[in-house]
Amino acid sequence: MRPLDGITVVTLEHAIAAPFCTRQLADQGARVIKIERPGAGDFARGYDERVGGMSSHFVWTNRSKESLTLDVKNADAKEVLGGLLSTADVLVQNLAPGASARLGLDFETLSAKYPKLCVCDISGYGGDGPYRDKKAYDLLVQSESGLLAITGSPGAPAKAGCSIADIAAGMYAYTGILSALLLRGRTGKGSHIEVSMLESMVEWMGYPLYYAINGQSQPPLAGASHATIYPYGPFPTGDGKTVMLGLQNEREWKIFCDGVLMLPALAGDTRFASNSARSASRDALREIIVDEFSTLTAEQVIERLDRAGIANARMNSIEDVWNHPQLAARNRWREVSIPGGTVPALLPPGIPDGCEPRMDDVPALGQHTAAIMSELGYTSDQVEGLRTAGVI
């Protein structure tokens, strides 16, 4: 038995934030009915063709879902939506601002008809305020939230390499829905969950916000190094590779000098007497570290770091991650079907012991339309008529 077996989620979603949320609900056993535009579908289907002709974003966020094509702006779609929502537990939507209200899918309207329905609205900036109607793509929210101000190198700010603002919003939507379902179990009533990408990212920016509170300077751009802790980041080795390492306290600093750099006297150098001092003198300290590491291979450096108990990591490529020995040893990969083949998929983190997560097919556009319409009581002739009319 999975935690969300028996829970039905209807989702009007596109791109990443909402699909990432609902895929995790599906992982936990929920039935997720994804409503897509007839003929086009979720526009993330067209981002690329890297995975057997399918989009990499879409394959990542849409396994284990049922695809129903429905033109929600068509008047005849209202009855179909009503039939779906009458038995659903959760509605998720990340339509354009104001669109759900115009369609009668706002929480106030729906709760009067379906008092047990939990409704989750995901948007860029929230349902009100001066930014409500601004378009909010992941990069733009990374910029608005201040992430770009602390990421990259001096003179070259950089965005996170994955859709971190979408992921943040999707995670808060996911946990918010789980909380709403728990609350419904106590009160019998559904809840309204509102998640904005901006607020999700600003929550994740808590450390730099507090670091720069009351007009103090913000963390400097430090590339792949830590902005305020040193040494903490990438260092080249003699074989042309890169090793990441990080120190957290003075005990580790002394061990690092003794057992990694083989320079025990360095621990007493006043230039490096505290983390703040080391951070301020990072150029001089980096030169010392790079000089020692230049005589060693990456594996030899890692061997020294491991022996000394200093945190470290390899600078892995994407191919390295596919073949990561830790993931293989823990049997974390499964196979998921896509139209025309299969792809590996990582077991979702955090599934309770004894539960096998749901990891079903990535759906083709409209793959489940006929079956779902039949469940709602439509005959094959009615389905064909709605299809001809462009409703489904």
- Cis, peptide link before residue 363, omega less than 30° from 0: no
Known catalytic membership, residue 57: no
Q: pLDDT for 14-47, tens place per residue? A: 999 999 999 999 999 999 999 999 999 999 999 9
Predicted local confidence at residue 245, as pLDDT = 96
Structural domains in the chain plus CATH codes: 8-204+328-388 (3.40.50.10540), 232-315 (3.30.1540.10)
Other CB atoms within 10 Å distance of the CB of residue 249 = 10
DSSP secondary structure string, 198-237? Answer: HHHHHHHTHHHHHHTGGGPPPPPP-TTS-SSSSSEEEEE-
- The DSSP letter of residue 312 is E
Q: Check if the beta carbon of residue 58 is closer than 8 Å to that of residue 41.
A: no
Please tell me the predicted confidence (pLDDT) of residue 340.
86
How would you class 274 by CB atoms within 10 Å of its CB: exposed for 0-12, middle for 13-18, buried for 19 or more?
exposed
Write down the catalytic residue from 192, 226, 324, 368: 226
Amino acid residing at 49:
E
CA of residue 25 relative to chain centroid, distance: 13
- Taking the alpha carbons at both ends of the chain, their separation in whole angstroms is 33
Tell me, what amino acid is at 89?
Answer: D
Q: Which residues of the chain have pLDDT under 70?
A: none
Residue with tokens 């951070």: 279
Contact 218, 38 (CB under 8 A): no
Give me the pLDDT at residue 96, please.
85
How far apart, in Å, are the Cα atoms of 59 and each of 35, 83, 339, 348, 364?
16, 28, 10, 14, 10
pLDDT tens figures, 95-126: 988 888 899 999 999 999 999 999 999 999 99
Which residue intervals of the chain are DSSP H helices?
Answer: 17-27, 56-61, 77-85, 99-102, 107-113, 138-144, 164-187, 197-204, 206-211, 250-259, 275-280, 282-293, 298-308, 318-322, 325-329, 369-375, 380-388
Alpha-carbon distance of 332 to 334, in angstroms, equals: 7
What pLDDT, on a 0 to 100 scale, did the predictor assign at position 220? 87
SS3 310: coil
Structure tokens at 319: 């191919």
Position 222 scores a pLDDT of 84
pLDDT at 260: 97
